[in-house]
Amino acid sequence: MHNEHATDTPRAWTWAEQISTYRFWGLVLCYLLSLIGSTLLSTFLPIFLRDQIDLTIGTETGLLAVLMGVGGLFGLYLAWTATRWQPVPLLIVAAGLQLLGGLLLTRPSLASAPLLRWAGAWLLGLGSGTITLTVPAVIVGGRGGAETFVLAFGVTVVLSRVGQMAAPYLMAELWDRFGASALGTTVALCLALALLSLLPVQRPLFSVPPPPRGAGLPPTRRSPGAVILACLIPFYWLYWLYRAHGEIASLAPTSARAILAPRAAVLSSLFVPLFTPLITTKLNDALNQHAVQTGQPPYRTSRAVFLSSLLFYPLAMAWVQSAMNQTVSARTNSLTSHVG
């Protein structure tokens, strides 16, 4: 077995390197879908059991809630085991257990048997508790420091909170349209997808050195004013983010580990729009760091870029583009003087 706490500690992953891999997104999808499925069951299960098997809401549903909670507590042991040895296989087991538990609770022919629905509640809690504890622990296990935890796990938290808020309203609509059976179908789909999202995840996770980055993109000069206007066009800003991440990786290769891969930048900004100011600011950080390393004064402060990203993001992107243009000019001048 592979021990993630081996004394030969590999190079730590940065937040950008984590988010740029499916290892991270597979964990996020599993975490998100697991929370949505368990939230839906916690919210609608009493009404579902009353409608489907004539179970009176009261002591019985309270017992099921207790069993879910106790199962979640026992998830601590599986989570501890997962963080010490093989996280992905044990997460797959946990996802399978919560899927089985969900089926036992939402299939009337099974839920009508007290022992089966009690077992379903405990298994659901066990699987969900294991996933809820293991995923953040594995992300932090990349040993990238506080920034990695805030930025990388922040994506997970934001997505899960949005999912947990929206899921009950969507479920209510499905319930009104298709009846109580929609709960079982929706929960089974969420928990099955949580399981499937883990299957392509590479083992081990973040206990080995991060994979090397691909080649950057050739830098292109753009007018900052044109960038402001173009970023007002829907989805151009995604194209700019893709290009900017690839071009800065070429301009500032020693700072590339601190920024996302181009494709990861687009996906992160598309699915987590609140993340856009952060990744734009990190581009400015990389350019400033490269300027200092090459004996140049830093460009615009990252505080200004971050605030402008919150208030009017095309301006922040124009400022970063201006810094990219200056970096290209500085590199051209350096090469010219070296040849001369």
Domain boundaries, the chain: 15-198, 224-330
pLDDT in 10s for each residue of the chain, 340 residues: 344 444 444 567 888 888 888 999 999 899 999 999 998 998 898 889 888 888 776 777 788 989 999 999 999 898 888 888 888 999 999 999 999 999 999 999 999 999 999 999 999 999 999 998 898 888 876 665 666 667 777 777 777 788 878 888 889 999 999 988 899 999 999 999 999 999 999 888 887 888 877 778 999 899 999 999 998 888 899 999 999 999 999 988 888 888 999 999 999 898 888 889 999 999 999 999 998 988 888 888 989 999 999 999 999 999 999 999 999 888 777 666 555 5
pLDDT at 336: 63
pTM for this entry? 0.81
Whether 36 and 167 have beta carbons less than 8 Å apart is answered as: yes
Q: Which residues of 258-270 are buried (b: 16+ CB within 10 A; e: fewer)?
A: bbbbbebbbbbbe
pLDDT at 5: 42
CATH architecture, domain defined by 15-198: Up-down Bundle (1.20)
- d(C-alpha 326, C-alpha 238), whole Å: 22
Whether 101 and 110 have beta carbons less than 8 Å apart is answered as: no
pLDDT at 4: 43
The DSSP string of 268-329 is HHHH-GGGHHHHHHHHHHHHHHHHHHTT----S-HHHHHHHHHH-HHHHHHHHHHHHHHHHH
Q: Tell me 149's DSSP state.
A: I
pLDDT at 258: 86
- State both tokens at 64: 């099921």
- State both tokens at 196: 């499937």
Whether 145 and 126 have beta carbons less than 8 Å apart is answered as: no
- d(C-alpha 115, C-alpha 110), whole Å: 9
- State both tokens at 8: 């030969």
